[in-house]
Structure 1
Amino acid sequence: MATEPEPQGPARLPLGPQAQGGRRAGARSAGVAAGRLAATAAVPGVQSMQSVQGGGQGVQGVQSLPSRTGDSTPDWLEPAMAANGIGSFDWDIRRDLIEADHRACAITGITGTTFELNSEAFLALLHPEDAPVVRRRVERAVAELGQCGAYYRTLFPGGELHAVRFRGRVLADAFGRPSRMVGFVWDATAELHKRADAGRRAALREDRSRFIKEAARALSEAVTVRDVARVFTELPLPGLPPDGLVLAALEAGRLQILGASGYRREAVAPYDRMPLEPFQPAAEAIRRRQPVFVASREEYQERFPEAWPRAKDTGRSAWAFLPLVASGRAIGLCVVSFDDARELDADERTLLSTLGGLVAQSLARARLHDAEHELAAGLQRVMLPRTVPAVPGVTTAVRYLPAGSGLQIGGDWYDVVPLPGGHVGLVIGDVQGHDVHAAGIMGQLRIALRAYAAEGHPPAAVMARASRFLADLDTDHFATCTYAEVNVDYGVVYAVRAGHLDPVVRRADGRSTVQSVVGGLPLGIGTAQEYQVTRFSLDPGETVVLCTDGLVESREMDLDTGMARLCESVAGELPTRGQDGTDPIEELADRIAARAADSAEREDDIALLLLRWDGPEGGLAAQQLRRRIGQADLARVSELRGELRDALRRWGVPELIDTAELLASELVTNAIRHTDRDAMFTARLYREDGREPRLRIEVEDESDLWPKRRTPGEQASSGRGLMLVEALADAWGVEPRGSGKRMWFELSAGEVA
């Protein structure tokens, strides 16, 4: 309670007798001149003159002080003290006796004109919390021969609690020892309440200032309209906690409720998308672009009688309608309501108006963000294939993750293209840039590349034509891309890479490896670029993973680290098909996507494409290889030899590779050279219980000209093909067909393990 700090020096009292030229002398006049300070100073801890001075009843040369009376105040000072309600007191430290005039008695709550109390009796009159404070301050003043003062509370006989303020000074005798304390006392109840009210108002202003800062920060961090609604409905308004909050957006003359708190859902639902009628307070606030405050139900009924029938059922008694104005245009409304009638003061109205301005700016920014995001998402949905076609023998999974900042649209894309002959084409690519222009180029390039692939062009031709197409667009953009044609019957992949990432292959045993593919320049760099094809094979259950660089590269992660993380994500065990029918490849796609950076941190969008080769029904693909060799496609013969080597290695008969490759090459070359049609190559491995595995290779053509076994001379450059077949094969032959013929040979492997 005692909140006033003690002064550091002696008080100046120009009205005291010493200021009048020393009219009164002696200790009595000196006490009056220095004293009459403030509040009734109880003397704690000092029991008597003996305890302060160390003994003795009198001091030689010190005039004894007569008892004080109610009329002892000089005539020239009394009117001033009476007009200001100030009483005086005198505490004789030697005798431990406090005397006061009639005004001090009234202020302290003691009946009578004067009173005489010792220090302990006086302290007993004070509030228990204030007595120790007064005691300490008086003790220090006595010890230092200084002055002191404080507020304290005292209880009047009628039970009323009053606040009193005192100011006193300790006087010394001729030997410099404390002799008495004199001072003033006055009622400080109103003063203390005023100070308390000022303190509360200052604290409230500080709370409101802090609230505005925190609200501004929270609203600035709100990205979407939903975020703004959540922040607004959770704001703790200082000093005026509302009972209801509603945030609504103005759309085509209707109010769309974005968020509400303090209301039941069914109470708010009728107002959602309600037309804004001119007689409503919300309409007046939006029309005038000024807040509308309604302090009571009676005022609402008087000012808005047509709107009152609907408002009276809400149970509220006071409202504040705050228009949300951004860039000079009303975009919504905030409603703050109270259960009890309430007249908001100027500070409260200013706080709510400021809050409305903050919400308006945040809502405008969030609506723009949502509109841009919806535009980007819609454009991306149009550019990317809606569904991935189902192709028998393979299972695919795709993911697209937009960047975490900006327009959230870019040039990354994926595609799955069914091809003639039951094959399937896989496309993954990334157009340079991260904007709408890049997305538009991506859409054109995706359609062109899909068309080239669907026409049946081989992978190298598809990529070369796509590069020329992009160069002809003259967009100053390039694109990276990987195109892979998968033979669904045999699990062979023909891949072409244009400046893009190598694919990752998940093997049947759970291992993962980066499959090296010969690379070429990105698309659009030149019109005469040629691309090489890399062939690799899959066993049933193995998966090819294609992705864009956003998954494996960022400012915090280099490409090598990213590819290692990708291989780690692809490898390992996968769950079996769940009860809900979820395919394990979907689980794998989710696992890979989960390793990508958080959406708020990701710098680039990500396209992800997975294909698992399941193989034909019955698993025959593991023992059969079938290829068509074009009449003019001599390079296909070399590819066929590589495929045959891979197939025999997978089938577990590597000892047959050299012989089978040599003889197959002879039969295929013979068919192409001596006919004018395509040739069909077929390799099958037969396994029978208790017998050695048997490889049968057949080459069919449409020529009726049968091969003739010749005996070439020593210098002849041809004519030894059938001789090699006869010498190395376990059996061989030629069979007629409806049109053309079939040449074949068989090789036997070692004992079955």
Structure 2
Amino acid sequence: MATEPESTGPARRTPPAQSSRGTAAHGRAAVNALRPPATGPGPAAAGLAAGRISPVVPRGLPTRTGDSTPDWLEPAMAANGIGSFDWDIRRDVLEGDPRACAILGLDPGRFDRSSAAFLAMLHPEDAPVVRRRVERAVAELGQCGAYYRTVFPGGQLHAARFRGRVLADAFGRPSRMVGFVWDATVELHKRERAGAMAALREDRSRFIKEAARALSEAVTVRDVARVFTELPLPGLPPDGLILASLEAGRFQVLGASGYLDGDLRQYDRTPVPAGHPAAEAIRNRAPVFISSRDEYRERYPDAYPQMAETGPRSAWGFLPLVASGRVTGICVVGFDDDRELDADERTLLSTLGGLVAQSLARARLHDAEHELAAGLQRVMLPRTVPSVPGVTTAVRYLAAGSGLQIGGDWYDVVPLPGGHVGLVIGDVQGHDVHAAGIMGQLRIALRAYAAEGHPPAAVMARASRFLADLDTDHFATCTYAEVNVDYGVVYAVRAGHLDPVVRRADGTATAVPVAGGLPLGVAPDEEYRVTRFSLDPGETVVLCTDGLVEARDMDLDTGYERLCSTVARELPGRGEGPRDPLDELADRIASLAADSSEREDDIALLLLRWDGPAGGLAAQQLRRRIGQADLARISELRGELRDALRRWGVADLVDSAELLASELVTNAIRHTDRDAMFTARLYREGAGDGRARLRVEVEDESDLWPTRRTPGEQASSGRGLMLVEALADAWGVEPRGSGKRMWFELSAD
């Protein structure tokens, strides 16, 4: 409650020295009279019950000996609505003239003329202030004044002001307080209105701050439309809101509330009518406010018939959205009743329009950048993953949460000659459009090298030279794995990338160490080593980029442990759910990534499960292409053949088959200028575990037939066919159009 400053004056008489103690005691008694009794009726109430004190009655100004009241004072007080009061401090009796009683709302039948009864009439917030000021005036023989509110018997709230002075008796003790009181209800209403306006202004200021915060957090155009249509405008709640963008002179409704879908369909994606208030707002880049339907009909007669079909609106505000000097759309605020918006309301709406315009412009730019990045990423990554019999694959890509949400991570699945499959996972340095462009070129080149049938080491070496020749100052990490679908052997090459993780048939998951080399593009002449490991049917290879296992708050070792733990968790069996368990595993691994808003790196994920043939046994065939200049491939081929024969259950043929196959392949490479194709098949006579027969074939494109010779004791060559003839159960050479096929057979005991 606003109150006047307290004021006291010395207006006191100098009491005799011997009466000082009595004066102080009398002052304390007078002050205590202002305090309501703790229990029971007060002295004044007791006196009233005994008939010693009569109820207050309206009367004129008191006249006492020595008082000199000018004749003009009463008319002046009456004309200004001022009443007078007289409080006998010693007897605690309060009297007032008729105007004072009317101003205070006194009921003579209920008011006992005591100070306690007077204080009980006041508003609970004002009574302590009035009592404190009167106590001080009585104690200091001064004057006081206050503004207070009173509650009339009917419950109405009124306000009054008073000013009084404490008079002393002949001994200097407080005796009476006399003063004036006048009505301040008009001032009360002014204060209430001022308080309401201040609260409204505070609400509007808070609304602008909250709206600015909410719109600043809106990322997409959809977010801006949602925030705008949910805004609670303080003091003028709208009945309808529309947010529309302007594209090539046409409206596009982005969001609305308070309207039916059919009401706005006639405006969506239509040209802006020339005689429409929205057109005027866009043309002048200034808001247009309409207070009633009659005003709408008068100002815009051509647009009125169409408006009449769009709901019960009776007042509108059309706010142009201007950002960077360009009109990007319009906001429409509608009210169901006629409304003449004042200056503050119009300023609020105009400010809101400016906030929405800036937010919408930023959101449209974000959406355009995101669409560009998403489109570029879709072009760079494989649209579909090819299906290869014998294996099941699953891929995931998660964009970074900052920038254009595009990067250099990629994956690829490449079908290879002989029914095998190549797996590629890589990461080009950088997280921008340049990195994505390099990634696209490198992916295509590496895919072409692999599809030509080059061994993994050659594929990686050629890709490194290709990236170096681009002269982009970028490098890339990569892992390439060639999977022999026939019997589940993986040949992996790593260029500065992460080791693969394998989920074994028993449910365990571990990282498989792969011999590593420098990242692609760093050293064009780098030679990469191949690491071979085997899979059993149902086992899964997991390849990923570093964004999945490394972050600002997580080191690589911790990330690998978390990945292996996730991969090792139990999976549902095949056929138990609508989705393949491999897809569920891919989703589970992808969920390890941080939230998109916090993810600092993009993530590529590639999973391959080797299913094997029906019954869980590996296909009993091995088919490999041997490069003409890749002599190291012969050693790898011998290892593959050893593995295959052990898997096929004919380990007793390993030594002979390895020796003879090496001779045939070496002859094909040495005496021709083309690649050779090696094929090994195991046949069984009858069903089940019948007698096994191994047939090995080596094809080349040379028309030069082998000649059996008898070398001398000192000759270093020429004994290949002699070994074949001596160890093989059968052998031969067959023409095949351009080239020939050499073969031998071994029978298992």
1:479 Cα offset (Å): 1.2
1:337 Cα offset (Å): 1.1
Separation in structure 2 between the aligned mates of residue 709 and residue 580 of structure 1, nearest angstrom: 66
Residues 496-515 of structure 1 aligned to structure 2 (within 5 Å): 496-515=493-512
Separation in structure 1 between the aligned mates of residue 437 and residue 216 of structure 2, nearest angstrom: 32
Greater shift, 80-89 or 732-741, is seen at 732-741
* Aligned partner (choices 423, 427, 433) of residue 426 of structure 1: 423
Separation in structure 1 between the aligned mates of residue 453 and residue 699 of structure 2, nearest angstrom: 22
2:21 is matched with none
Query: Over residues 334-390 of structure 1, what are the superposed CA-to-partner deviations in whole Å (9 max), with x where a residue is unaligned?
Result: 111111111111111111111111111111111111110001111111111111111
The residue type paired with residue 662 of structure 1 is D
1:751 is matched with none
Separation in structure 1 between the aligned mates of residue 133 and residue 685 of structure 2, nearest angstrom: 114
* Aligned partner (choices 504, 516, 522) of residue 525 of structure 1: 522
1:708 Cα offset (Å): 9.9
* Aligned-pair identity (%): 69
The residue type paired with residue 271 of structure 2 is P
1:103 is matched with 99
Q: Are residue 561 (structure 1) and residue 561 (structure 2) matched?
A: no
* Aligned partner (choices 466, 470, 475) of residue 473 of structure 1: 470
Flag structure 2 segments of 5+ consecutive residues without an equivalent: 15-32, 53-59, 736-740
1:340 is matched with 337
1:186 is matched with 182
1:693 Cα offset (Å): 9.6
The residue type paired with residue 8 of structure 2 is P
Secondary structure at 1:609 match in 2: strand
* Aligned partner (choices 655, 666, 669) of residue 662 of structure 1: 655
Secondary structure at 2:216 match in 1: helix
Separation in structure 2 between the aligned mates of residue 222 and residue 138 of structure 1, nearest angstrom: 55
1:576 Cα offset (Å): 3.1
Separation in structure 1 between the aligned mates of residue 549 and residue 299 of structure 2, nearest angstrom: 65
Q: 1:480 to 1:124 in 2, by over 3 A?
A: closer
Q: Are residue 173 (structure 1) and residue 169 (structure 2) matched?
A: yes
Separation in structure 2 between the aligned mates of residue 175 and residue 352 of structure 1, nearest angstrom: 69
The residue type paired with residue 119 of structure 1 is S
Flag structure 1 segments of 5+ consecutive residues without an equivalent: 13-17, 23-40, 58-65, 749-753
Q: 1:353 to 1:116 in 2, by over 3 A?
A: closer
Residues 567-646 of structure 1 aligned to structure 2 (within 5 Å): 567-577=564-574, 581-617=578-614, 619-621=616-618, 623-627=620-624, 633-646=630-643
* Aligned partner (choices 252, 264, 268) of residue 264 of structure 2: 268
1:68 is matched with 62
Secondary structure at 2:62 match in 1: coil
Whether the 8 Å contact between 1:704 and 1:741 is mirrored in structure 2 is: no
Question: Given the two structures, how large is their TM-score scaled by the length of structure 2?
Answer: 0.82
Separation in structure 2 between the aligned mates of residue 365 and residue 630 of structure 1, nearest angstrom: 56
Whether the 8 Å contact between 1:323 and 1:330 is mirrored in structure 2 is: yes
Q: Are residue 403 (structure 1) and residue 400 (structure 2) matched?
A: yes
1:436 is matched with 433
Q: 1:127 to 1:301 in 2, by over 3 A?
A: farther
Secondary structure at 1:186 match in 2: strand
Q: Are residue 487 (structure 1) and residue 491 (structure 2) matched?
A: no
1:152 Cα offset (Å): 2.6
Q: 1:282 to 1:235 in 2, by over 3 A?
A: same
Secondary structure at 2:308 match in 1: helix
Q: 1:131 to 1:665 in 2, by over 3 A?
A: closer
1:716 Cα offset (Å): 9.9
Separation in structure 1 between the aligned mates of residue 322 and residue 624 of structure 2, nearest angstrom: 71
Whether the 8 Å contact between 2:645 and 2:653 is mirrored in structure 1 is: no
* Aligned partner (choices 207, 217, 220) of residue 216 of structure 2: 220
Greater shift, 177-186 or 440-449, is seen at 177-186
What is the root-mean-square deviation in Å for CA atoms of aligned residues? 4.1
1:520 Cα offset (Å): 1.4
Greater shift, 696-705 or 85-94, is seen at 696-705
Separation in structure 1 between the aligned mates of residue 646 and residue 75 of structure 2, nearest angstrom: 123
Separation in structure 2 between the aligned mates of residue 693 and residue 209 of structure 1, nearest angstrom: 92
Q: Are residue 252 (structure 1) and residue 262 (structure 2) matched?
A: no
* Aligned partner (choices 542, 548, 551) of residue 539 of structure 2: 542
1:50 Cα offset (Å): 13
Q: Are residue 119 (structure 1) and residue 114 (structure 2) matched?
A: yes
Secondary structure at 2:618 match in 1: helix
Separation in structure 2 between the aligned mates of residue 43 and residue 505 of structure 1, nearest angstrom: 88
2:445 is matched with 448
Separation in structure 2 between the aligned mates of residue 125 and residue 564 of structure 1, nearest angstrom: 76
1:163 Cα offset (Å): 2.9
Count of residue pairs brought into register by the alignment: 698
Question: Given the two structures, how large is their TM-score scaled by the length of structure 1?
Answer: 0.82
Whether the 8 Å contact between 2:660 and 2:723 is mirrored in structure 1 is: no
The residue type paired with residue 247 of structure 2 is E
Separation in structure 2 between the aligned mates of residue 116 and residue 499 of structure 1, nearest angstrom: 97
Secondary structure at 1:457 match in 2: coil
Separation in structure 2 between the aligned mates of residue 530 and residue 219 of structure 1, nearest angstrom: 55
Separation in structure 1 between the aligned mates of residue 417 and residue 694 of structure 2, nearest angstrom: 27
1:685 Cα offset (Å): 8.9
Separation in structure 2 between the aligned mates of residue 627 and residue 130 of structure 1, nearest angstrom: 97
1:289 Cα offset (Å): 1.0
The residue type paired with residue 334 of structure 1 is C
Secondary structure at 1:275 match in 2: coil
Separation in structure 2 between the aligned mates of residue 631 and residue 591 of structure 1, nearest angstrom: 44
Separation in structure 2 between the aligned mates of residue 699 and residue 404 of structure 1, nearest angstrom: 54
Separation in structure 1 between the aligned mates of residue 169 and residue 648 of structure 2, nearest angstrom: 122
1:67 Cα offset (Å): 8.0
1:258 Cα offset (Å): 1.1
Whether the 8 Å contact between 1:44 and 1:138 is mirrored in structure 2 is: no
The residue type paired with residue 238 of structure 2 is P
Separation in structure 2 between the aligned mates of residue 135 and residue 403 of structure 1, nearest angstrom: 68
1:28 is matched with none
Greater shift, 560-569 or 218-227, is seen at 560-569
The residue type paired with residue 361 of structure 1 is Q
1:209 is matched with 205
Secondary structure at 2:573 match in 1: coil
1:726 Cα offset (Å): 12
Separation in structure 2 between the aligned mates of residue 687 and residue 545 of structure 1, nearest angstrom: 39
Query: Over residues 56-92 of structure 1, what are the superposed CA-to-partner deviations in whole Å (9 max), with x where a residue is unaligned?
Result: x9xxxxxxxx981599633575566455432211111
Greater shift, 641-650 or 345-354, is seen at 641-650
Separation in structure 1 between the aligned mates of residue 627 and residue 137 of structure 2, nearest angstrom: 120
Whether the 8 Å contact between 2:572 and 2:581 is mirrored in structure 1 is: yes
Separation in structure 1 between the aligned mates of residue 361 and residue 198 of structure 2, nearest angstrom: 33
Separation in structure 1 between the aligned mates of residue 107 and residue 514 of structure 2, nearest angstrom: 108
Query: Over residues 467-486 of structure 1, what are the superposed CA-to-partner deviations in whole Å (9 max), with x where a residue is unaligned?
Result: 11111111111111122222
Q: Are residue 90 (structure 1) and residue 83 (structure 2) matched?
A: no
